[in-house]
Amino acid sequence: MNTFGHKRVTGLSGNEIYCLSKLGLRAGQLCVGNSVVALGVARGIGAGLSTLGGGEVTEVTKLVHDSRMNSFDRLISEVRQHKGVGVTGVSFDLINHGGNLEFLTIGSTVHKADGVDAFKFSTSADVQQLYCQMDAGFEPLHFVFGNVAYSIGLGGNISGALRGLRRGEIPQYTEIFDQTRHLALTRITDEAKKHGANAIIGIQTTISPLLGSQEMIMVGTASRHPALEAYKNNPVTSDMTNEEMWNMVNLGYLPIKLLMGVSVYSLGLAGGLLAALKSLMGGEVSGLTELLYEAREKALARIEREAEACGADEVVGVKTRVYDLGGGLVEFMAIGTAVKKFPGVTTKTGLLPPQAIIQDRETFVDTTNVADTLDLRRGGAASARRLQQGPVAIVIAVIIFIFYLLRILSHH
């Protein structure tokens, strides 16, 4: 229900406007959709109980999904009011207003250069990324997302501490986290099917704290490529950057599947004690070195097996992440895109224009919150410190247990 007339305000940069002109499009209005919600007492209690139990927190997943969908629908309504042919750079944001959560969806309208046309597409790609997608032969259809809110749970922490007495992989946790991670991928794929897509490209994955749990969300563009019609019932998925994908298509490769490998490991009580002592003395912590290496290898091996199963030629752009689960437990996740060579496939042009790959520089910098800025810059070191807190926590727990045991014995 936008009644404002900001007809000359666009969120697109000069590079994006140049790329638009090459696609026969022109810049339109910056549009916003929002939805403000309160968790509510009953829902809060239900979410709290789910958080204690561990696994997916379905109340939070649904609340966040529905709120984002409402804000997205309002964005599209505004784009249609401006008679746009599409909207690019669709992204989500979340603002806390004294306990009420505002879900924002932001994007920029685009128009046909030769006049008015019916609304056709929405995409998470900015215009430079959109240029790469379309030159690689992909037709954008619809912005899609899949999310899952999850928690390790109180029971998980207790059982994890008990299992953490031994060193090595914890298969039960590996299975739970692997299934949870793949829920977001399954949900974004299901959304793409509804829009007749045979591919979801440019997928971006974000993991962040939300309402006492963690949320994993994947956003991307449901698209169609003529060489991927065999995948219309099971759309291909890709987290390659759009520039990377253009290069692979230029070489004759298309994405097949976004792959994830998960492994949850415990350092173990003995390993935790030795690691803590070694940290005090200095030098290599060989037990921790071996464990982290082994865990990464397990996660990568799972990706390789999945790539073989789907008939891929290569897995590209693999990234690894480490998450401290507490109690001496760590999760390793590897994520990348399986690709396959397709005869006769290539890009429409032989070279991308510089404007499609130049990164826009930030010209407005806000450093009023210096603490947050410094924390972001110290992210790597902070992550390393958190990783070492698990073994230290085990040592502290053992010391406290011995102290209380001695007190009990002394009274008898």
Higher pLDDT, 152 or 222: 222
| 131 is a domain residue | yes
Residue 273 has pLDDT above 60, yes or no: no
Q: What is the residue range of 67's domain?
A: 14-346+385-411
162-219 per-position pLDDT tens digit: 444 467 888 878 888 888 889 999 999 999 999 999 999 999 999 888 877 889 999 9
Residue 51 has pLDDT above 50, yes or no: no
Concatenated DSSP letters for 73-126?
HHHHHHHHHTT-SEEEEEEEEEEEETTEEEEEEEEEEEEETTB-----EE-SS-
102-117 per-position pLDDT tens digit: 999 999 999 998 876 7
Residue 56 is predicted with a pLDDT of 82
| 192 is a domain residue | yes
Residue 172 is predicted with a pLDDT of 79
High-pLDDT (> 90) share of the chain, %:
53
Token digits of residue 10: 């666009």
334-376 per-position pLDDT tens digit: 999 999 999 999 999 999 999 999 888 888 887 775 444 433 3
Please work out, in degrees rounded to the nearest 5, the angle formed at the alpha carbon of residue 152 by the alpha carbons of 262 and 294.
30
Residue 70 has pLDDT above 50, yes or no: yes
Residue 63 has pLDDT above 70, yes or no: yes
222-253 per-position pLDDT tens digit: 999 999 999 999 999 999 999 999 999 999 99
Mean pLDDT rounded to a whole number for the chain? 81
Residue 60 is predicted with a pLDDT of 85
| 1 is a domain residue | no
Judge whether 340 and 331 are in contact, CB under 8 Å.
no
Q: Which amino acid is at 149?
A: A
Residue 295 is predicted with a pLDDT of 86
Residue 304 is predicted with a pLDDT of 94
| 366 is a domain residue | no
> Measured between alpha carbons, how far is 255 from 31 in angstroms, rounded to an integer?
31
Residue 270 has pLDDT above 60, yes or no: no
- The sign of the dihedral angle between the CA atoms of 116, 88, 336, 152 is negative
Residue 154 is predicted with a pLDDT of 39
Token digits of residue 194: 């509804």
pTM over 0.75: yes
Higher pLDDT, 3 or 268: 268
Region of poorest pLDDT, from 87-96, 276-285, 304-313, 341-350:
276-285
Return the H-helix or E-strand segment holding 145: strand 139-151
Residue 168 is predicted with a pLDDT of 81
Residue 389 has pLDDT above 90, yes or no: no
Nearest CA to 81 out of 14, 142, 33 is that of 33
Tokens 């790609």 appear where? Answer: 125
**CA 377, chain centre distance (Å):** 20
Residue 34 has pLDDT above 70, yes or no: yes
Please work out, in degrees rounded to the nearest 5, the angle formed at the alpha carbon of residue 104 by the alpha carbons of 89 and 35.
140
Residue 160 has pLDDT above 90, yes or no: no
Provide mean pLDDT across the span 157-165.
Answer: 45
Residue 401 is predicted with a pLDDT of 55
Number of separate domains in the chain: 1
| 204 is a domain residue | yes
> Measured between alpha carbons, how far is 228 from 396 in angstroms, rounded to an integer?
56
290-349 per-position pLDDT tens digit: 778 888 899 999 999 999 999 999 999 999 888 877 767 788 999 999 999 999 999 999
pLDDT classification of 49: cutoffs 50, 70, 90 = very low
Residue 381 is predicted with a pLDDT of 36
Residue 352 DSSP symbol: -
Nearest CA to 31 out of 98, 138, 111, 100 is that of 111
| 236 is a domain residue | yes
pLDDT classification of 408: cutoffs 50, 70, 90 = low
Provide mean pLDDT across the span 131-143.
Answer: 98
Residues contacting 190, CB < 8 A, separation 6+: 146
| 251 is a domain residue | yes
| 358 is a domain residue | no
